[in-house]
Amino acid sequence: MLFSHINNKTFMEPIIEYFKTIPSLHRSLLLVGGITFFWIWESALPLFNFKYQKVKHAGINIFFTVTSVLINFSLALVLLKSSDWAVANDFGIINWLPQMPLWLYAILGLMVLDLIGAYFIHWLEHQVKWMWMFHLIHHSDLHVDTTTANRHHPGESVFRFIFTTIAVVITGAPMWMVFLYQSLSVVLSQFNHANITLPTWLDKTLSYIIVSPNMHHIHHHYTQPYTDSNYGNIFSVWDRLLGTYRFMEQKDIIYGIDTYMEPKENEHLTPLLKIPFESYRPPIGAKFDKLEK
């Protein structure tokens, strides 16, 4: 295995040792701490001054966050065994590459995990109708903020987990890399969903490397083609390379999805849970008046 050939001491080693055995408490603190930090930021300096009940809105999204955590926790052994198998059998893209510095090995592994386990499944959810019916619960949020990051129907959490597992095997990622990726994903998803704005120059610069807030907010615009763009999770390179990157001014964004713009359908728990089992509604491209923020 490539990793076994790299014996030089590097700054990566403490990171690897930490993520090999990262306590569940620390992973929970990342989730809760991230939401808390960005909640305070967006409350103090919001992008949009939403006229909504922020705590009630968060309650719906936190319910879906909890179900996602429970599903991933209950299936965690599958992920662990898949990673162990790939490592033990020298299987996976990063284990077939020539010897390289450990930091580069880590970055390439994270990028492949991001491509298969995040970008590809996200793109697929927008192409396959039955997957879309689960995923649109995420898009139906009319007030995107940091709690929207984990607003996923339990059914979507299951098939996202399946693709995460596939990504781990294809990548050949050891568990420290998986835990590192998941930790980065949690915090950066909260960051790029947060109701915040950055200076234009800073957001644009960040968007060449990672998915910035403006880049992902565009993905939550209510109509195509913007809805079907900017699929990235951590790294923005995949959208730029694969032709799915789009830009629009933040002030022009209207959150939601054009087939579910009624609050009674997307701001209450029971209707949201039922959406995947309703009849498919094709995009209508209707031009709604600018919603009151």
Predicted confidence (pLDDT) per residue in 245-279, tens digit: 999 998 999 999 999 888 888 888 999 999 999 99
How confident is the model over 14-23, as a mean pLDDT? 93
Q: What are the distances in angstroms from CA 7 to CA 102, 104, 180?
A: 9, 14, 20
Tell me the C-alpha distance between 161 and 164, whole Å.
5
Residue 159, pLDDT above cutoff 50 = yes
> Per mean pLDDT, which range of 99-103, 206-210, 226-230 is the poorest?
99-103
The residue type found at 88 is A
Tell me the C-alpha distance between 193 and 51, whole Å.
18
Residue 3, pLDDT above cutoff 60 = no
- The predicted model scores a pTM of 0.91
> Per mean pLDDT, which range of 31-40, 128-137, 154-163, 258-267 is the poorest?
258-267
Scored b (16 or more CB within 10 A) or e, 69-84 reads eebbeebeeebeebbe
How confident is the model over 156-170, as a mean pLDDT? 97
Residue 79, pLDDT above cutoff 80 = yes
Q: How confident is the model at residue 1 (pLDDT cuts 50, 70, 90)?
A: very low
Residue 293, pLDDT above cutoff 50 = no
Better-predicted residue by pLDDT, 282 or 139: 139
**Residue-wise pLDDT tens digits, 200-226:** 999 999 999 999 999 999 999 999 999
pLDDT for position 287: 53
Tell me the C-alpha distance between 269 and 286, whole Å.
25
Q: How confident is the model at residue 9 (pLDDT cuts 50, 70, 90)?
A: low
Token pair listed for 274: 């039922």
Q: How confident is the model at residue 10 (pLDDT cuts 50, 70, 90)?
A: confident
Q: What are the distances in angstroms from CA 125 to CA 42, 119, 135, 253?
A: 29, 10, 6, 22
Cβ–Cβ contacts within 10 Å for residue 203, how many? 17
Average pLDDT of the chain to the nearest whole number: 92
Contact 129, 180 (CB under 8 A): no
Q: What are the distances in angstroms from CA 145 to CA 15, 27, 150, 240?
A: 30, 21, 11, 25
pLDDT for position 284: 73
Give the DSSP per-residue string, 198-222: --HHHHHHHTTTB--HHHHHHHTBS
3-state secondary structure of 276: helix
- Dihedral sign, Cα of residue 190, residue 193, residue 266, residue 285: negative
Those residues with Cβ within 8 angstroms of residue 49's Cβ, 6 or more apart along the chain or in another chain: 293
Helix, strand and coil in the chain, % to nearest 5:
65, 0, 35
Tell me the C-alpha distance between 227 and 217, whole Å.
10
